[in-house]
Amino acid sequence: MEDQIEKLSILGIRLNPELNINDLLEGGSRAEFEKDPFQSLLICLGGEIHKNEKWYEASEHVCYLDTECIEDQGDYVWIIEKLIKMTKVDIYNVKDTIRPDLEEAMVSFEYNNQQIEWKLNFEDDWLDLEIFYRFNQLINEERDKRIAVMSLDQSCLIAYLTQAERKVLNKLLKYKFQ
């Protein structure tokens, strides 16, 4: 497990400095993490860990989420805020509108002194994965890294990687980042 953490760290996916391996093992055994190397660790790093009466992001470099997560106002704001934290892109005044009765969803924000508004596909409470493609298009000219998404049935992993990092990481995984 230590070797997995070291390899991920080299690829820019680091454990929160407030946490250690024992904190990760609170959610599962070492054997579980070694049975499906890297995949289980990435899922764990993409979540939160409860320690000393406080919740911590296990890593700010990867996010694991249920794609059936769009239920109310603020859900797309939370996703954009995760992307901002991952990418360090200067985006401000993030707002969303989710109207299940009208089957509408949208997110808006300020970027490079422009007001951006994206209408998103609304399908019950499913996340529109197009948001990650649009985010990459938005920051395309500034960065050599991209948001990479790995679909896992009803969930996904999101990471911010260069093409080279993605290729190396994908060689370690059963499921691949796109």
12: left (phi over 0), alpha (psi -120 to 50) or beta: left
Strand ranges (E), 46-162? 48-51, 54-57, 62-66, 91-99, 104-111, 114-120, 145-152, 155-162
Residue 174 domain-assigned (yes or no): no
Per-residue pLDDT, 142: 65
pLDDT (tens digit, 9 = 90+) per residue, 64-112? 999 889 888 899 999 999 999 999 999 999 999 999 888 899 999 999 9
pLDDT (tens digit, 9 = 90+) per residue, 30-53? 888 888 889 999 999 999 999 999
Place of tokens 């990459």: 136
pLDDT (tens digit, 9 = 90+) per residue, 139-174? 886 678 999 999 998 999 999 999 999 999 999 999
- Positive or negative, the CA dihedral 15, 16, 20, 21 is negative
Give the Cβ contact number of residue 54 at 10 Å: 9
Per-residue pLDDT, 101: 86
Give CA 20 to chain center in angstroms: 20
Q: Domain range for residue 94?
A: 66-139
Burial of 58 (0-12, 13-18, 19+ CB in 10 A): buried
Tokens matching residue 142? 């500034």
Contact 103, 86 (CB under 8 A): no
Per-residue pLDDT, 39: 94
Per-residue pLDDT, 114: 96
Residues 23 and 85 in one domain: no
Residue 12 domain-assigned (yes or no): yes
Residues 75 and 135 in one domain: yes
Residue 31 domain-assigned (yes or no): yes
Residues 70 and 38 in one domain: no
Per-residue pLDDT, 26: 86
Q: How many domains does the chain have?
A: 2
Triad 63, 156, 7: Cα angle to 5°: 55
Residues 26 and 74 in one domain: no
Determine the Cα–Cα distance for residues 19 and 42; give it in Å rounded to an integer: 15
Q: Which residues contact 99 (CB under 8 A, 6 or more apart)?
A: 105, 122
